[in-house]
Amino acid sequence: MNASVKIQRLNAIPTTLKETYPKAQKNRLRFKKPQKRGGDFFTLPFVGKDHGQFSYWDVPLTTDFLVGTYLGSALAGIYLNYIQRSENVIKHCLLGDIAEAWAEKSRSCTQSELEGLRGQIKGFIGKVNPCQIETSWPGAAEANAPRSDGQWLAEANRWLALGSDDALLALVKASEKPAKE
């Protein structure tokens, strides 16, 4: 099987995950209601204190590296939508605040949480990277297609629910098995 077919199958996995996505998920991200004071960025699902103290990266560290990359990529989609539509002057500082939050989290997490955080960072930066947005690679059209914040949030929560790389690899392996005739 060549690399482009594998990438296309990985891009199709979020559709496959719809059946495994629990509605009563414990670690779940959400958009917040706008506050009277503060910036509109406090409404973003990865900013807040739903999972501990206030952070600009308030994302549970319950995923493994590979699943974390998909989760980070979905959250980057929300970030890019926010940057495009927000009129907030300080929106350009948000990426620096997110990077600072990553550094802070990395100092206090376990080794397994650190693996998940590394995946989230890699996925987020990979999506935000303008070189990736401009280049064309197998699956780029689908991966970079415009989506609403709700679609990005649903995808982020599906990846968060999946959790481990083992679960993801099991889905990939199951999709590679030929159908019994």
Residues 92-106: b if buried by 16+ CB within 10 A, e if exposed? eebeeebeebbeebe
Closest CA to 84 of 70, 94, 97, 69: 94
Residue 119 belongs to a domain:
yes
Residue 48 belongs to a domain:
no
Q: Whole-angstrom Cα distance, residue 105 to residue 102?
A: 5
Residue 41 belongs to a domain:
no
pLDDT at position 59, please?
Answer: 94
Range of the domain at 118: 63-172
Residue 51 belongs to a domain:
no
Q: What is the pLDDT along the chain (181 residues), one digit of tens a residue?
A: 444 444 445 555 555 444 455 556 677 899 998 877 777 888 999 999 887 889 999 999 988 999 999 999 999 999 988 888 887 767 778 889 999 999 999 999 999 999 999 999 999 999 988 655 555 555 666 666 788 998 989 888 888 888 788 888 887 888 776 656 5
Say how many domains are in the chain.
1
